[in-house]
Every structure is written in structure tokens, then in C-alpha cells.
Amino acid sequence: MTRTSRLRLPLGLSLGLSLGLGLLILVLGLASLAAGKVWIPVAELLSPADAPRWFIVAELRLPRALLAILVGAGLGLSGAVLQGYLRNPLADPGVLGVSACAALGAVLSIWFGVAYGAAWVLPACAMAGAIGGMGLLYALAARARGITTFILAGVILNALAGALTSLAISLAPNPFATAEIITWLMGALTDRSLQDVAMVTPFVLAGGALLLTTGRALDALMLGELTARSLGIDLTRVRWRVLLGVGLIVGATTAVTGMIGFVGLVVPHLVRPLAGNRPSALLVPSALAGAALVLAADTVVRILPGGTEVKLGIAMAVLGAPFFLGLLLKMRREIL
């Protein structure tokens, strides 16, 4: 195999993988619209004018499906970029405390009552928290070469944000605010509207556009920062793109859905064997796979038996925590 063919092979694999994932999202999207306590045949979905139950789809299930795609794609892309930028296979907005900082910003806006003044206040506070968390993470572990320091920095951020969030809950001015904060922190797509979709979409698209421009820089960073600089990569500009991109995505999605973790951790590892190890080849497939994963998970929690629907954030934690533990054990065996 020539050097040229080695370079082209991941691109071909990535394109084919992206097309396959796009088809999977289409199938899962139809399943998401059809599934629930009341099942709606696909024939009714394809001819809504004559479907008496189309109101359920248009008002309840369509916003959930669209939000699942946006949230999953944004978090999957963020995880792939963070793993490439930090050269750390355990990097993820949730694991590194960025999601917790976004949640803290949103919780504080609810606690102080400013979130009810205008629709943009809560997302703005969540994005400020996420960007601030990314900045603190970089300040704590910027010069670290090992994985341990980044994980410890993430543990510090998670602990600090979690403690402040718990303090806000314990000092909530009324029981209604307490209940709202606790329910929101669990993470869910229930009872969301097309207005929520419209609110989160611009920020996810803007953050995604910033992160997608980092592909060449992430490839160069695989060779080290000195080599990347010698190739003409402006690392300061790349750092700001990552900070702002991840902050916009994590803040906006957390503001609308609450905390949904582990998507950015799990997805890049699932697509890496198919897309190759180049970070730039992982970006689009990770976004598509994240959308498919959240769509599938939200559909499953909706059809589980029981009177109360399992929160999506809880379901993703049950899925992601064993995956995270497995990665740690695998890395330990490789090191030893």
C-alpha cells in the first residue's frame, strides 16, 4: 500500500461510515416518532393529513426526536474534539466537569430567579458556566503530559460544581425551585417543544462549525505541539475555537435538556475502529453516531414498562459508567 492510499483510506471509510450512520439516524428517527405508550404506525407518519394522532407526533415526539439529534450530535462531536485536542482517550465534557459547570450556571440562574426574566438567560448562564469550566480545566492541566492529571482536574471540577449545585439546592428559596432543579439535573427530553429546538439549534450549529474547523490542527497535534507549530498551526486560535465550540454546545444542550453524560466519551471509541485513528476523520462520524445513540436511548426509555419514564440522563449514566470503567481497566493493562 502506497503512502497516498494510506492517506485516502480513512477518508473513504469515514465517508461510507457517515452515510451509513445518516441512514441509521433516519430509521431511528422514524422509530422515535412511532414509539411510545401509544404506538403510531409508520403509515400514519407518512400521511399525517389523515392521521388523528398526528397531534401527538407534532407536539410531543417530533421536538424530542429533533432535540435528541442535536444533543447527541453536539456532545459526540465535542467528545471527539476534546479527545483529539487533549490527546486523551478519556476526555469528555461530562467526565472533565464541563457539563457540571454548565449545569451549575443554569442552576444559579434558576436559584436567583433570573432565568424567568427572559428565555435566553438560562442558556446564556449555562454556556458561561461551560466556557468557564473549559478555561479552568485548561488552567489546571495545560502543561500536563499524562492522562492522570486531566482526570484529576476533571474530578476537581466535577466535585466543585457538584458541591456548589448541592449548596444551591439546599438553600433554594422555595420547594418549587428545589423540585425544578432536581428534576432538571436528571436530564431528559420530556415535554420539550419546538421553541426549545429553535433556541438550542443556533448555538449547537455555531459550536459545531467552530469544532469542525479544528480537524487539521488535531491531526497535527498528534505529533506534538512543537511539530504542530512548525506546520503553521496557531495553537492559541485552536484553543479558543475548542473552548468556545464546546462551551456553546454543552451550555446550550444542558440548558434545554439538563445533564446527559457519557455521550462524548462513548461515541468516539465506538466509531474509531471504523473511521481510523486520525482525529479529523472522527469528527463527522462521531457527531452522527452521537445523534443515533441519543435517539436510540430516548426511544428505549420511552417504551420501558412502568408508570414513570426513566430519565434519559440516568439511562446514559447506567450505560456510560461501565464503559468508562472498562476503558480505565484496558488502559491499566496496556500500561502494566
The alpha carbon of residue 186 and the mean position of all alpha carbons in its chain are separated, in whole angstroms, by 15
Interval 189-217 mean pLDDT: 92
Instruction: Specify burial of residue 308 (Cβ count, 10 A radius: 0-12, 13-18, 19+).
Output: exposed
Give the residue, 43 or 195, on which the prediction is more confident: 195
Whether 116 has a pLDDT exceeding 90, the answer reads no
Note whether residue 287 is domain-resident. yes
Q: Which residues contact 66 (CB under 8 A, 6 or more apart)?
A: 194, 197
Task: Give the model's pLDDT for residue 289.
Answer: 95
Range of the domain at 284: 60-325
pLDDT digits (tens, 9 = 90+) for 133-179: 888 877 776 665 555 676 777 788 888 988 998 888 888 777 777 77
CA torsion angle for 41, 43, 45, 49 (degrees, to 10)?
-120
User: 24, 36, 25, 41: which is closest to 60 by C-alpha?
Assistant: 36
Q: What is the CATH number of the domain that holds 289?
A: 1.10.3470.10
* 146 within some domain: yes
Residue with cell 401527538: 56
3-state secondary structure the chain: CCHHHHHHHHHHHHHHHHHHHHHHHHHHHHHHHHCCCCCCCHHHHHCHHHCCCHHHHHHHHHHHHHHHHHHHHHHHHHHHHHHHHHCCCCCCCCCCCHHHHHHHHHHHHHHCCHHHCCCCHHHHHHHHHHHHHHHHHHHHHCCCCCHHHHHHHHHHHHHHHHHHHHHHHHCCCCHHHHHHHHHHHCCCCCCCCHHHHHHHHHHHHHHHHHHHCCHHHHHHHCCCHHHHHHCCCCHHHHHHHHHHHHHHHHHHHHHHHCCCCCHHHHHHHHHHHHHCCCHHHHHHHHHHHHHHHHHHHHHHHHHCCCCCCCCHHHHHHHHHHHHHHHHHHHHHHHHC
45 found inside a domain? no
Query: Is there a domain that residue 183 lies in?
Result: yes
Q: How confident is the model at residue 9 (pLDDT cuts 50, 70, 90)?
A: very low
Instruction: Give me the pLDDT at residue 7, please.
Output: 39
pTM for the whole structure: 0.87
Q: What is the predicted pLDDT for the residue at 251?
A: 87
* Cell 464503559 -> residue: 323
pLDDT in tens, 49-98: 556 677 778 888 999 999 999 999 999 999 999 999 888 888 888 877 88
Please indicate, yes or no, if residue 290 is contained in any of the structural domains: yes
Q: Which of 12-26, 47-61, 200-214, 247-261 has the lowest mean pLDDT?
A: 47-61
Task: Provide, rounded to the nearest whole percent, the portion of the chain with pLDDT above 90.
Answer: 26
Does some domain include residue 309? yes
pLDDT of residue 142: 63
What digits encode the pLDDT tens for the residues 103-112? 898 888 888 8
137: its cell numbers: 480545566
* Segment 295-305, tens digit of pLDDT: 999 999 988 88
Q: Average pLDDT for residues 214-234, to the nearest whole number?
A: 89
How many domains does one find in the chain? 1
Checking if the pLDDT of 240 tops 80, the result is yes
Cell numbers at residue 279, please? 482525529
Q: From residue 246, how far is each of 4, 16, 98, 133, 292 by CA, in Å? A: 33, 26, 9, 10, 20
CA distance 333 to 269: 17
Determine the pLDDT at residue 68: 95
Grid coordinates of 35: 414509539
What are 261-312's pLDDT values in tens digits? Answer: 889 989 999 998 888 888 999 999 999 999 999 999 999 998 888 777 888 8
> For residue 11, what pLDDT is reported?
52
15-24, 52-61, 95-104, 243-252: range with lowest mean pLDDT: 52-61
pLDDT at position 6: 38
Q: Are 188 and 313 in contact (CB under 8 A)?
A: yes
Q: Is residue 177 part of a domain?
A: yes
Q: What are phi and psi of 87, to 5 degrees?
A: 50, 45
pLDDT of residue 14: 66
- pLDDT of the residue at 1: 39
Q: Please state the rounded mean pLDDT for residues 188-217.
A: 92
In a domain, 43, yes or no: no
